[in-house]
Structure 1
Amino acid sequence: MELKNSNTRFGLISILLHWVMGLLIIALLCIGFYMTSMPDVAQQYDLYGWHKAFGILVLILAIVRVAWHICSERPALLIPAYERILARTTHGLLYTLMIIMPLSGWFMSSAAGKPPSFFGLFTLPALVEKNKALSKLFSSVHEWVAYCLIALIILHILGALKHHFIDKNDILKRII
């Protein structure tokens, strides 16, 4: 398998970024909803630290992924125009939310006076001063972006399954 994309298939770099980020984002969404419903504050606090660190990792990977997407050849989408528009719109929104989600978390943590630590290696700078109202605002943004991400992930998966099982084309195979 080639490292770079071709006009018929995604390369190893794109495939790894796709699946690693997909799994991380789904795990972070699950952990995010779980930890906000936990009654044990101490256990919740530990999970928040991990959630923030992996969220920053997603932000870094998302920036790398967007740069790779811009600079790389992509396999041709040999599908009807309306499906191509839907696919590109969905992907564009996914890329946008992959950046907004961790940024909103970083802003929320900063406004709460608890900027994220990257796996204990270093603490990221606060993006804003401590401000309870701002923290609540970014908390709402973070939550709504999570719901939008879930909807887009479901749409993305359903689209891939439709192409594989109904259209019987190779779109899913190109990213595996």
Structure 2
Amino acid sequence: MIKNTHRTYGLIAITFHWLMALMIIGLLGLGLYMVDLPLTDQRTFELYQLHKSFGFVILVLAVLRLVWRTVNPSPKLPETMPFLERMAAHLGHAGLYGLMLFLPLSGWLMVSASPWGVPTVIFDSFTLPHLPVPDFLGTKETAEATLKTVHEWGAYLLIALIVLHIAAALKHHFISRDDVLRRMTRPS
């Protein structure tokens, strides 16, 4: 089954979910690793380019995933779920989607603000143009520092939401014993 139904996710939504989950977790790990590397090292430059390349892929996939989600019904939450859990699920998903868009854009803007003028070369294939940096962010140095902090704290927030998302899925599977996790692991 390719498309979603009101009962389960289809193959496309499941593929988006797990492919993006792996890439996001990989990027978060790489980002945490990169922050302590010397900026003048060639290997560091290569890792930053890889991080930016996959960040751009995630941005594109997030947009495609949102388009797919708008043209396909999402499975309904179990009727037995309390109202507060339903609200938490909706807010958690909104946060995840928001950060899937926000983090690549904030990273792109951070690089664009950098006084170093380092290009973003996507998988050694093409250069992504810099974004215009709003004047209210101040000098390039100030803007870059501010955006670096915003990007970093956004990543920490994403880590927290991912942990909560996984905990909720496991709670549904092992405690509530409903099909919430199963419907994201195989189309039926």
TM-score by length of 1: 0.95
- How many correspondences in the alignment? 175
- Residues of 1 paired with 2:94 and 2:27: CA distance? 20
Deviations along 1:119-155, one digit per CA (max 9) or x if unpaired, are: 1221111102582211111111110000000000000
1:119 partner letter: F
Secondary structure of 2:4's counterpart equals coil
- Residues of 2 paired with 1:127 and 1:153: CA distance? 28
The gaps in structure 2 that reach 5 residues or longer are 134-138
Match of 1:42 in 2: 42
2:183 partner letter: R
1:68 and 2:81 correspond = no
- Residues of 2 paired with 1:96 and 1:12: CA distance? 23
Match of 2:146 in 1: 137
1:117 partner letter: V
- Residues of 2 paired with 1:117 and 1:50: CA distance? 9
1:91 and 2:93 correspond = yes
Larger Rg over CA atoms: 2
Match of 1:7 in 2: 6
Tell me which of 88, 108, 117 is aligned to 2:121: 117
Secondary structure of 2:128's counterpart equals coil
TM-score by length of 2: 0.89
- Residues of 2 paired with 1:126 and 1:153: CA distance? 29
Residue 105 of structure 1: how far off its partner (Å): 0.6
Secondary structure of 1:117's counterpart equals strand
The gaps in structure 1 that reach 5 residues or longer are none
Match of 1:55 in 2: 55
Percent same amino acid at aligned positions? 46
**What RMSD in Å do the two structures reach over aligned CA positions?**
1.4
Equivalent residue runs for 1:26-41 within 5 Å: 26-39=25-38, 41=41
1:158 and 2:148 correspond = no
